[in-house]
Amino acid sequence: MPARFRPARFWPTRFWRRATVAFVCALIAGSGAARAAEDYPNHSVRWLVGYPPGGSTDICARLIGQYLSQKLGQQFIIENKPGAGNNLATELAAHAPPDGYTVFLVNPANAINASLYKNLSFNFIQDMAPVAGFIRVPNVMEVNPQVPAKTVAEFITYAKANPGKINMASSGVGTSVHLSGALFMMMTGVNLVHVPYRGAAPALTDMLANHVQVMFDNLPSSIAYIQAGKLRALGVTTATRAAALPNVPTVAETVPGYEASAFFGMAVPKGTPRPIIDKLNRTINQALADPAMQARLAELGGTNISGTPEDFGKIIVDETNKWAKVVKATGASAE
């Protein structure tokens, strides 16, 4: 046999040797990731929240963060990074090292902004990995008590009699609070003046002072003011009434087909080791199964959406597709 063909007899040996080396390296890498998860976290974790303290996103992060800190033995430190309609915090999270020491509070703006903004420096679905869902909550259509309307129907009549004179607050451009109001305007034909804030807390401060008159806020950040009579709830934005406000009708009872809600959960930069994601997921699901936590979330009007990372990933994709249709239908946009 010619010499040039002799090496072919050794090709299978070399192939399997390389394959064996690759397999062993994969085992070592896998065991290293598993050991990293066992030790995780061995120092504090940075939890990015795209809004100021006091709003629904902040409330959710602090409730779950306190539980994670207690169970995992390291502090989950909330960093409020408001700005650019939640995009500032999202960009920081998407570009953070994928080591489990930066986590992010997912909220409706992450689903909305994908179609609302045209030039984002990140693709949320591609650049972030879902960890776990927390809760889904209604938004609530609320007014300052000085507004004469006591029902959704009365508000529509009042708004049509005062076009362009009623200020509608939101927690920022692109939030579910903003888009819930935009959808309401589109479906009823009323003309409200949108006044965006850098979060729910400053918006609510001006609502209480009657500088703005109406808001479609996430229920957790407003429910205490409603129960105290400082704000008047006209309707909840979900298809069915909220258990936390059983006497408040749905907006859809007056505006058929109207529906909107908010969801919250955790994500990490894509590439974070799966064992770390799984450890966070298990601990969060334990938190959501804790009776004390369930009671607290029920007080805020939340419905549990615990599950696997894949379950939460599907929610994010479904919400992104849903809100893209609303953005298109309302003509909403942001730079």
Characterize the bridge pairing of strands 261-269 and 128-143: antiparallel
Residue 1 lies in a domain: no
Last residue of a domain, one of 221, 253, 285: 253
Give the SS3 label for residue 135: strand
pLDDT given for residue 15 in this prediction: 52
Report the chain's terminal Cα–Cα distance, integer Å: 71
Residues 132 and 271 in one domain: yes
CATH of the domain at 180: 3.40.190.10
Rounded CA-CA distance 92/95 in Å is 5
Residue 149 lies in a domain: yes
pLDDT given for residue 183 in this prediction: 94
pTM, entire model: 0.84
Q: Domain of 243?
A: 139-253
CATH of the domain at 61: 3.40.190.150
Residues 191 and 94 in one domain: no
Residue 5 lies in a domain: no
Residues 129 and 144 in one domain: no
Residue 121 lies in a domain: yes
Rounded CA-CA distance 49/118 in Å is 22
Rounded CA-CA distance 138/238 in Å is 6
Q: What is the total count of domains within the chain?
A: 2
Q: DSSP assignment, residue 249?
A: P
pLDDT given for residue 17 in this prediction: 65
Residues 131 and 266 in one domain: yes
Residues 102 and 249 in one domain: no
Residue 111 lies in a domain: yes
Residue 14 lies in a domain: no
pLDDT given for residue 106 in this prediction: 98
Angle, helices 108-116/309-330, rounded to nearest 10 degrees: 50
Average pLDDT by stretches of 10, the chain with 335 residues: 46 57 55 71 98 93 97 98 94 98 97 94 98 96 98 98 97 92 96 95 97 97 96 96 95 96 96 98 98 93 95 97 91 80
Inter-CA distances, 18 with 11, 13, 24, 26, 32, Å = 11, 9, 10, 12, 21
